[in-house]
Copies of this chain bind each other. A is one copy, B any other.
Amino acid sequence: MDFSIGDLSRRTGVKVPTIRYYEKEGLIEEPIRTEGNQRRYTERDLERLTFIRHGRDLGLPMPAIRELLDLSAHPDAPCADADRIASEQLQNIRMRIVQLQSLEAELTRITQSCTGTHAIADCNVLKAFGDHGLCKGEH
């Protein structure tokens, strides 16, 4: 029915001390405790923590995750707020996708021109990172 912090950790891939840290930070609810003061979690907690884990893996900043959690936590709230949050986050996500795609293109180009048989001296991987021309003109 419910499960321990160790079970939750195994099922989400989030380490035990990190789960306790998230609780302290208010990212997840304080769960019920056993007689002996140990935490016991539900499927709801599992879902929430899985979301946090995946969001972090994807490189979402912590505040974005907080907002998205808030959004999903109030499905009956007036829609205007939720809509604004969703829209803002949507913009972030799309920007992130575009960035990652340009990076993907760059790395693809680099690895394709590298057969693995020549010497480092002529390696495009290293040259690519040294070349300002490949920047998006930010500096």
Chain A residues packing against B (C-beta within 8 Å) = 10-13, 47-48, 50-51, 53-55, 57-59, 68-69, 71-72, 74-80, 82-83, 85-87, 89-90, 93-94, 96-97, 99-101, 103-104, 106-108, 110-111, 114-130, 132, 134-135, 138-139
When all copies of this chain in the complex are counted, the total is 2
Q: Add 4 more A-B contacts to A51-B125, A79-B117 (CB < 8 A).
A: A51-B126, A51-B130, A58-B100, A72-B125
Determine the chain B residues whose CB is within 8 A of the CB of A12 once the complex forms.
139
Determine the main DSSP class of A at the interface with B.
helix
A119 to B123, CA, bound (A): 53
Contact A110:B86 (CB < 8 A) given known A75-B120, A116-B79, A120-B74: yes
Question: Which of B11, B82, B114, B135 is in CB contact (< 8 Å) with A86?
Answer: B114
Q: Which residues of B contact A68 (CB under 8 A)?
A: 125-126, 129
B11, B59, B108: which contacts A96 (Cβ < 8 A)?
B59
